[in-house]
Amino acid sequence: MSVTVRMAPSPTGFLHIGGVRTFLFNWLYARQHGGRNLLRIENTDTSREVAEATHQIQESLRWIGIEWDGDVTFQLDRMDDCRRVAEQLVAEGKAYEDEGAIRFRMPDEGVTAWDDVVRGHVEVPNETIEDLVLIRSDGRPTYNFASPMEDVWDGITHVIRGEDHISNTPKQIQIIRAIGADVPVYAHVPNIFGSDGKKLSKRHGATGVDEFQREGYLPETMLNFLALLGWAPDGETTLMRRDELIERFSLERVSPSPAQFDYAKLDWMNGVYLRELSPEEYAHRLVLWLGDEGYDWDAQLVTRAAPLVQEKIAKLSEFPGFAGFLFHDVEPDPADLDGGAPVIEAARGALATLEPFDAEHIEASLRGVVEGLGLKPRQGFQPIRVAITGSRVSPGLFESIELLGRETTLSRLAAAAAIA
RNA sequence: GCCCCCAUCGACUAGCGGCCCAGGUCGCGGCCCUUUCAAGGCCGUAGCGCGGGUUCGAAUCCCGCUGGGGGCACCA
């Protein structure tokens, strides 16, 4: 039997990171088994918000690299089919009319059970399940009717979804059995919590996929990090790219207990992937990201600056703050200049005529200046750094000076010397 | 109230009865390197929620408790 799974977001807003993790598991499972991964929008109306959210969801999936097969389908389009099935169930005595709505007759004895791939055997007493509404009195099918029906029609073999659906499962199983279809395999994956153990929400930081993108996280980071939330191939491996994830993923190894989203570890991992990029690729991504965020900085200069920051920042969004001095004027805090006027002046004198004006020679020259004044390197270079970059923290000083160019360097040194 | 799910370092997890006085990764602390910040190297910190069983032996199996979470809609 070939595998067919589905991602079923409701178009109520932007794609939440918890939902993406669930979709990721669907996709990994489908790819590993050479099966299909469908994208099914569980909408109940056709408003403009829905259209926008649907678009946004696809954009986010594309960005992160989770693919779907075939056309996107909409629950709303199958309303009529749902109604027909409900009427059939009424005719068979398995459902009944109730004040204009149609209710499903739940068995009131025994249990409904299934073997959940991540949780094992689960069973619920039927007496605790009420007769649920299939069709509202306005004619629209309810979620708990439409969703399992779509699973049947789409030939879904494995329903991989969030654990908040566990209590819906017995209801849906009963419906599927009532129409005489095969019940799919269920796998309920755990929730993702925020760093305080509570539900992931805005105050924890980014929660929408688009926000992670804007923060300067790489798609490969998100894929790797999310996969590890609730799943691990073994006790050792933490860094895995797309192909390895597909190869090693296993639904059976998904943990049943909820995980907390750890932004600190995410940052670490992003730094790893950022550093792994070739200098060319790194510069490319940086330029694209800056463009997306509305910076009109010179791409040539960004490209030349990229190698100076690649080892030093964990997110692309740190670039403007860290290397912005290359693109705009700076205002050093006199306190940070720390009375460094003498060394700043001396540096200005040395650099004024230095040839060639490159990092190697700049370093040699400045080391001479600092030594000449009897200063330790860290004492001597710091005022110069502040003068040049406007900050106590910066990329390598000598390379930065080379990129800035002689003219700007000299004027910044002069300005700083005046206020130090 | 009823039903269901969950429970190993601060976090993500490995562990599926002896290989575990519990391993890896992040974080955190220290040291080294060092022009700042990072990166890197080395060392370290810290955990099986509690109580009963079962067993020669339990983090691992069973029961209870406690604590989290979800559900009980003509929401999805």
- Take residue A26 and report the two structure tokens written for it: 């669907």
pLDDT at A196: 77
Instruction: Write the Ramachandran bin of A197: left for phi over 0, alpha for psi from -120 to 50, otherwise beta.
Output: left
CA of A255 to C1' of B65 (A): 24
CA of A228 to C1' of B56 (A): 39
Q: CA–CA distance from A171 to each of A22, A107, A138, A348, A403 (Å)?
A: 21, 10, 22, 78, 66
Nearest to A19 by CA among A210, A196, A244: A210
The pLDDT of residue A293 is above 90: yes
The pLDDT of residue A198 is above 90: no
Predicted complex ipTM:
0.96
Residues A215-246: pLDDT tens digits?
999 999 999 999 999 999 999 999 999 999 99
Q: At what angle do helices A359-372 and A377-389 cross, to 10 degrees?
A: 120
Name the pLDDT band for A50 (thresholds 50, 70, 90).
Answer: confident
The pLDDT of residue A139 is above 80: yes
pLDDT at A1: 64
pLDDT at A49: 77
Name the pLDDT band for A391 (thresholds 50, 70, 90).
Answer: very high
- Residue A141 pairs in a beta bridge with A135
Active site residues of A: 202
CA of A419 to C1' of B55 (A): 79
Residues A91-118: pLDDT tens digits?
999 999 999 999 999 998 999 999 999 9
Nucleotide closest to A140 measured between CA and C1'? B74
- Would you call the peptide bond into A356 cis, given omega within 30 degrees of 0 as the criterion? yes
Note the strand B nucleotides within 7 A of protein beta carbons.
2-8, 10-15, 23-28, 34-40, 68-76
The pLDDT of residue A48 is above 80: no
pLDDT at A195: 78
The pLDDT of residue A264 is above 90: yes
Nucleotide closest to A239 measured between CA and C1'? B25
Q: What is d(CA A215, CA A267) in angstroms, rounded to the nearest whole number?
A: 10
- Residue A260 pairs in a beta bridge with A193
| CATH tag for A1-71+190-276 (out of 3.40.50.1360, 3.40.50.620, 3.40.50.2300, 3.30.1330.10) | 3.40.50.620
* Domain boundaries of chain A, sorted by first residue: 1-71+190-276, 334-419
Q: What is d(CA A368, CA A351) in angstroms, rounded to the nearest whole number?
A: 11
If you average pLDDT over every residue of chain A, what do you get? 95
Name the pLDDT band for A7 (thresholds 50, 70, 90).
Answer: very high
pTM: 0.95
Class of domain A334-419: mainly alpha
